[in-house]
């Protein structure tokens, strides 16, 4: 039943409101309300992916299947840029036995990659691409110390070759130990239900803030919605050791550091200073917090090692320090050559040739090529070394130098000490890559040390 009431001030206000609303509904809604459509769609997940995407790369290569037919397979995976000069971290199984390594950036440009270091036990590897003066983007590194089951995570990778595939889920569990085959066992993994597929390996696992908190590594065969990632703190610790190997043969600073956390914020603390080292002469002390090296901010051991990449003995670097007393200061440290001392034969080979080698069963070498009695498995190659310049790669088997076979490190020592070394350089070397024999010529770097063996 309609009730008629007299007009009042309140009725007039309501009538005006109805009139305005009617005009809005009649076609002028966009003009009357602010356009926040894009803002509403840019959720934290979208923002996290946008910030991480430029630092995620696609890895493609030819992988050799170790069978009698030596069949070549197409390999694929993902990597994360950890230094803007071209250093990338990925899983070792992504690049294992790769003969040609191609890395494609988010902008679709492709570069030839070189495997410079790996640790098979942790299934981590560092590769490098050369870009000249171009700077690469980095993503934010978080911590795996405060992860919570149930929190949102995002995986980015090249699932089945589809570049920059994004999946979302939660952390299902922490500290999982997983055996994926007879030889590979992982400890302390993050379990997630974010879809992780072949090709995702080596890609980042992000939290909702866009920080990398893990490196995707494996899926459970036959089980849907179960994937695993290596915690980022463990990844960064291993990567720092690999980069340290790139620096230690040509530089000496005398600082031992450790990444610690204060209110979940990472910081790098000096654990020890070698006596009479460049750091000692500069005035650094144990307990100092390193905030920057040559104006490069330092928040992790990886940042610290990155700061020395490409530096040479005699370079002077400014270190911004917060002392244990809280006082801010700057020290100028002049880098030096490694001290002349008795070191291991392994380290001399690393300095002079630029490789680290591991024993390999002679029968395994003979199966690849019956003309060789054995060799040494190349497990690391130092960037800028004689070996790197000649294209020697991680995974190669060194079978000979000049006219001598290389069955062990003592054979390499014999060559480095030979009276006619100066006359026979550059040395002809022979390597097995798969079943194929390759050769080249390298000139050993000058010795700065004396071995103790």
Report pTM. 0.69
Q: Report pLDDT digits (tens) over 99-152.
A: 788 999 998 999 988 888 888 888 899 999 988 766 888 999 999 988 999 999
Higher local confidence (pLDDT), 296 or 5? 296
Q: Is the dihedral of CA 422, 360, 341, 268 positive or negative?
A: positive
**Section 23-47 average pLDDT:** 61
Per residue in 405-438, pLDDT (tens digit) is: 999 999 999 999 888 888 888 899 999 998 889 9
Is residue 123 annotated as part of the catalytic site, yes or no? yes
Judged by average pLDDT, the poorest of 200-204, 218-222, 282-286 is 218-222
What pLDDT is stored for residue 241 in this prediction?
Answer: 86
- Catalytic residue from among 93, 164, 253, 377: 93
Indicate if 244 belongs to the active site: no
Structure tokens at 25: 């509904």
The predicted structure's pLDDT at residue 63? 62
Q: Which domains does the chain have, with CATH numbers?
A: 50-129 (2.40.10.10), 152-234 (2.40.10.10), 249-334 (2.30.42.10), 342-451 (2.30.42.10)
- What's the pLDDT score for residue 74? 62
Highest mean pLDDT among 6-15, 79-88, 134-143: 79-88
Mean pLDDT of the residues in the chain: 82
Task: Say whether the peptide bond before residue 105 is cis (omega within 30 degrees of 0).
Answer: no
Residues paired with residue 433 on neighbouring β-strands, in sequence order: 436
pLDDT given for residue 4 in this prediction = 35
The predicted structure's pLDDT at residue 75: 66
| Catalytic one of 123, 233, 288, 396 | 123
At 232, which helix (H) or strand (E)? helix 232-248
Written as six digits, the tokens of 280 are: 């000692």
pLDDT at 431: 94
Report the range of poorest mean pLDDT among 61-70, 81-90, 211-220.
61-70
In the prediction, which pLDDT does 375 show? Answer: 94
Quote the pLDDT of residue 252.
87
Two tokens at 216?
């995707």
More confident residue, 72 or 139: 139
H/E stretch holding 246: helix 232-248
pLDDT at res. 453? 47
Task: Please count the residues of the chain.
Answer: 453
Instruction: Give the integer Cα–Cα distance in Å for 71 and 330.
Output: 57
The answer to whether 72 is a known catalytic residue is: no
Candidate list 144, 172, 195, 201, residue with the active-site label: 201
């Amino acid at each position: 039943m309609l009730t008629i009431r007299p007009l009042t001030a309140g009725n007039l206000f309501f009538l005006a409101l109805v009139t305005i609303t009617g005009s809005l509904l009649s076609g002028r809604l966009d003009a009357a309300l602010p356009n926040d459509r894009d803002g509403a769609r840019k959720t934290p997940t979208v923002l996290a992916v946008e910030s991480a995407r430029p630092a995620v790369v696609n890895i493609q290569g030819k992988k050799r299947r170790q069978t009698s037919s030596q069949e070549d397979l197409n390999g694929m995976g993902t990597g994360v840029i950890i230094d803007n000069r071209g250093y990338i971290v990925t899983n070792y199984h992504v690049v294992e036995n790769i003969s040609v390594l191609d890395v494609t950036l988010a902008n679709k440009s492709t570069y030839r990659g070189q495997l410079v270091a790996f640790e098979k036990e942790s299934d981590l590897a560092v590769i490098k691409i050369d870009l000249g003066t171009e700077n690469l983007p980095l993503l934010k590194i978080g911590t795996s110390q405060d992860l919570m089951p149930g929190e949102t995570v995002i995986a980015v990778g090249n699932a089945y070759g589809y570049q920059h595939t994004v999946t979302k889920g939660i952390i299902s569990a922490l500290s999982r130990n997983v055996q994926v085959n007879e030889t590979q066992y992982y400890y302390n993994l993050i379990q997630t239900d974010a879809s992780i597929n072949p090709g995702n390996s080596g890609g980042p696992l992000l939290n909702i803030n866009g920080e990398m908190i893990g490196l995707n590594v494996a899926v459970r065969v036959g089980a849907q919605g179960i994937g695993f990632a290596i915690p980022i703190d463990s990844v960064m610790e291993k990567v720092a050791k690999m980069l340290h190997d790139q620096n230690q043969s040509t530089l000496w600073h005398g600082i031992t550091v450790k990444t610690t956390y204060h209110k979940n914020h990472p910081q790098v603390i000096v654990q020890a200073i070698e006596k009479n080292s460049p750091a000692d002469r500069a005035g650094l002390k144990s307990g100092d917090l390193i905030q920057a090296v040559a104006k490069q901010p330092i928040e992790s051991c990886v940042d610290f090692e990155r700061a020395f990449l490409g530096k040479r003995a005699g370079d002077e670097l400014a270190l911004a320090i917060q002392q244990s007393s809280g006082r801010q200061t700057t020290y100028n440290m002049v880098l030096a050559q490694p001290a002349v001392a008795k070191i291991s034969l392994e380290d001399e080979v690393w300095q002079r040739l630029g490789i680290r080698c591991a024993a390999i069963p002679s029968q395994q070498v003979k199966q690849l090529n019956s003309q060789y009695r054995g060799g040494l498995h190349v497990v690391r190659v130092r960037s800028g070394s004689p070996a790197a310049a000649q294209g020697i790669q991680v995974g190669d088997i060194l079978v000979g130098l000049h006219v001598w076979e290389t069955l062990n490190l003592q054979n390499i020592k014999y060559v480095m000490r030979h009276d006619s070394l100066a006359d026979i350089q550059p040395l002809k070397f022979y390597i097995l890559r798969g079943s194929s024999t390759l050769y080249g010529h390298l000139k050993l770097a000058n010795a700065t040390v004396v071995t103790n063996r």
